[in-house]
Amino acid sequence: MSDRHNPLDAPLDPPLARRGSPMRPLPRLIFASRWLQLPLYLGLIVAQAVYVMHFLVELTHLVEAAFGSQTALQMLIKSIGYKVDAPITTLNETVIMLVVLALIDVVMISNLLIMVIVGGYETFVSRMDLDGHRDQPEWLSHVNASVLKVKLGLSIIGISSIHLLKTFINADNYTDRVLIAQTAIHIAFLLSAMAIAYTDKLMGGQGASGKH
């Protein structure tokens, strides 16, 4: 009888042995709990629909005011919070600019919602299997929790910039305290985004150095 060791009789490597084994009940339950986030993303889709309706309403009022509708003009002036001493009877450049900035604000918030819905679902819930799809977002191919945080931070800075620009254009209707507070909040957003990006860069560098 040969005493040579038969490689087929050797025990399987533990990771290979567990690869095809079913998950235990508790880990399976914990892993399945990620689907509790699904109603949250569906709720954000509903919020996205509300923003689309708001955008269309404001755009309709802008077009109607451009054709001379006083009712639409007054609704626009009320929505943007624009106040002057003399009554406004026609669209002027300031009103148009404030309305357009408000529409851009809606678009940027909508982009933020899409980023959270698609990126969050892909990162934290389940794969969407969009590889090779012609409409796959470019940023989704390399998204992870860190990248998503940076992108969200940049989006929030963009939204804050639009709000700050709207405030400066309509500065006569705001107090100095409000102007200073909004500027300070915007600077805080900038510093926070820079800190997040720098932290992710440090963590990425440590991960890369740990591979060597």
pLDDT digits (tens, 9 = 90+) for 36-86: 999 999 999 999 999 999 999 999 999 999 998 889 988 888 888 877 777
Residue 4 lies in a domain: no
The verdict on residue 139 lying in a domain is yes
What is the rounded CA–CA span in Å between residue 109 and residue 107? 5
Q: Is residue 149 part of a domain?
A: yes
Q: Is residue 196 part of a domain?
A: yes
What digits encode the pLDDT tens for the residues 173-210?
888 898 899 999 999 989 988 888 788 778 765 554 55
Residue 29 lies in a domain: no
| Residue partners of 115: CB distance under 8 A and separation at least 6 | 139, 148, 151, 152, 155
Residue 107 CA to residue 83 CA, distance in Å, equals 25
Within-domain flag for 10: no
Number of domains in the chain: 1
Q: Which domain holds residue 62?
A: 36-207
pTM over the 0.85 mark: no
The two structure tokens encoding residue 175 = 């107090």
Question: What pLDDT score was predicted for residue 16?
Answer: 47
